[in-house]
Structure 1
């Protein structure tokens, strides 16, 4: 299965991007293909419905990646109780064709204890794009973020166990939806 992961920060070394990289590695270790889109490394122009972005490589690569994927992970830092402007801007370049009936996992990193507001907003955006929200989400807050500064997570660490549980739910949903999609083709 092909899964796109969008790391929605424009900060070098952002904790939300580090969490997304751990998820990407874990998903690949389970035999899936991952397309990693880092909005720090591949910034999007400011979206306007009046402009054409046909010649913008970052925009077209992101659109193609999400369109060709069976599932999507959206990772954001939580800024002032909201998703990052960078991630919201990137999502504005896509429509229901990119997300319709695809499972989406919402992930946040917050300086506070948890980043639930941004996760709820991601889920509202996903619903409006006709995607299917994973019933699990992943919020990494406060001191938990330091775990992702290590090159490798200890498999016995509570965060590793949480990641495996969340990804297990997400990948099972993606597999189930992908199977149904293939059966109807």
Structure 2
């Protein structure tokens, strides 16, 4: 399966980007093709509906990867009860053709205990883009962030990593089922 991960932070060393990279590594170990778009490393210009977004190289690469993707992961820090502006900007470069019928898993990290507001808002956007929200999401907050800030020691942070693994398993299972269903409709 081809999976695109959009890491929606504009901060070097962001916990949300580390969580996205961890998810990508875990999925790659399972044999999936994973492409991580780190919006700190690959910044996009400010979206304008008047500009030709396919002429902007980083945006064109993101759009092409999203068209080829079977499933998507969106990862964001939670700022002021919402997801990041750089992730919103990236989503503005995309449309229904990039999300329709694809499973989407949302990840958030927050300085406080949990970052649920950003996850709820991302799920609304995914629905509007005709994507299919994974029934699980990943919220990493407060002291759980140390799992990524201090090197990701599994034994010390087993509960965090086990929760991530369960969410990724649910994500892959749903995406696989949707892929098989779409293939059966094409054949039948």
Tell me the TM-score range normalised by the shorter chain: over 0.9
Question: In structure 2, what is the equivalent of residue 73 of structure 1?
Answer: 73
Tell me which stretches of 4 or more aligned residues in structure 1 moved more than 2 Å: 149-153
State the SS of the aligned residue for 2:53.
Answer: coil
CA-CA distance at 1:150 after TM superposition: 3.8
State the SS of the aligned residue for 1:101.
Answer: coil
CA-CA distance at 1:152 after TM superposition: 4.2
Query: CA separation in 2, counterparts of 1:32 and 1:50?
Result: 36
The normalised TM-score by structure 2 is 0.95
> Which blocks of at least 5 consecutive residues in structure 1 are unaligned?
none
Q: Which deviates more, 28-37 or 148-157?
A: 148-157
The normalised TM-score by structure 1 is 0.97
Query: CA separation in 1, counterparts of 2:4 and 2:67?
Result: 9
- On the 8 A contact 1:77/1:108 being kept in 2, the answer is yes
CA-CA distance at 1:67 after TM superposition: 0.9
> Which blocks of at least 5 consecutive residues in structure 2 are unaligned?
none
Q: Deviations over 1:52-101 (max 9, x none)?
A: 12321100010111110000000000000001000001000011000001
Question: In structure 2, what is the equivalent of residue 63 of structure 1?
Answer: 63
Question: In structure 1, what is the equivalent of residue 127 of structure 2?
Answer: 127
Query: Using a 3 Å threshold, how does the CA distance of structure 1 residues 153 and 167 change in structure 2: closer, same or farther?
Result: farther
- On the 8 A contact 1:153/1:160 being kept in 2, the answer is no
Matched, 1:103 2:96: no
Q: How many residues align?
A: 185
Query: CA separation in 2, counterparts of 1:32 and 1:74?
Result: 17
After superposition, residues 1-185 of structure 1 pair within 5 angstroms as: 1-154=1-154, 157-185=158-186
Q: Which deviates more, 150-159 or 81-90?
A: 150-159
Q: Which deviates more, 144-153 or 57-66?
A: 144-153
CA RMSD of aligned residues (A): 1.1
